[in-house]
Amino acid sequence: MDLQKVERVYSNYAAVYDQIFGRIFHESRESAVRRLNVRQGEQILEVGVGTGLSLPLYPRHCKVVGIDLSSGMLEKARARVRAHDLEHVELARMDAGQMEFSDDTFDTIMAAYVVTAVPDYRRVVTEMIRVCRPGGRIIMLNHFSNGNKVIAAVEKVISPLCKHIGFRTDLALHHVLEGTSLLVAREEKVNPLRFWHLVECVNRKNGSGPPLHQA
């Protein structure tokens, strides 16, 4: 996948995303946001905000910035922000692999269905770590390959097809986290069909954060 193709694919999806993919993904997305326990004044970045389905779920006592590469998706997200009068939300078109934020800007970063839908997931994860403060949280909601040989074989077969529609299926969590400052604080499977992994990581760059054991 390249950036232009990703942008084109998701902009083409924008008109029907909520009706098709929104129904499939929304329960897991809602569960992820509800479990954040957002503090007063917390600075939150949502990477790959899409049509903004999750934006009304964030409490109004925090500040949310949503970014996406797709102009079509952002048009829908901006309409949702206006419809719900979400004054605590800002949106910007931005490449998640080259963000325009300063280091250590955000307390929490949410990336739902992102790392398997970008051309270079390592670059995106590196950028999320950079813009997240030391000791902050990076939450990933995604499908990750789990090592089951049968499932892995199926994932390998369908992966080329999935890449054409904007995501891959054969990426394991340990490959995403390898060589980073992220330590897993919580990991669980969520609906639908317990296919999605909700992974909460602490950003321990510069040795920050509580002593956690990687799951």
Report, as an integer, the average pLDDT of 109-123: 88
In the predicted structure, residue 206 carries a pLDDT above the cut 90: no
Q: What is the pLDDT of residue 211?
A: 44
pLDDT digits (tens, 9 = 90+) for 57-90: 999 999 999 999 888 889 999 999 999 999 999 9
Q: Can you list the domains of the chain with their CATH numbers?
A: 3-204 (3.40.50.150)
Binned at pLDDT 50, 70 and 90, residue 191 comes out as: low
3-class DSSP string for the chain: CCHHHHHHHHHHHCCCHHHHHHHHHHHHHHHHHHCCCCCCCCEEEEECCCCCCCHHHCCCCCEEEEEECCHHHHHHHHHHHHHHCCCCEEEEECCCCCCCCCCCCEEEEEEECCCCCCCCHHHHHHHHHHHEEEEEEEEEEECCECCCHHHHHHHHHHHHHHHHCCCCCCCEHHHHHCCCCEEEEEEEEECCCCCEEEEEEEECHHHCCCCCCCC
Binned at pLDDT 50, 70 and 90, residue 125 comes out as: very high
In the predicted structure, residue 19 carries a pLDDT above the cut 60: no
Q: What is the pLDDT of residue 77?
A: 94
Quote the pTM value: 0.80
Report, as an integer, the average pLDDT of 146-163: 47
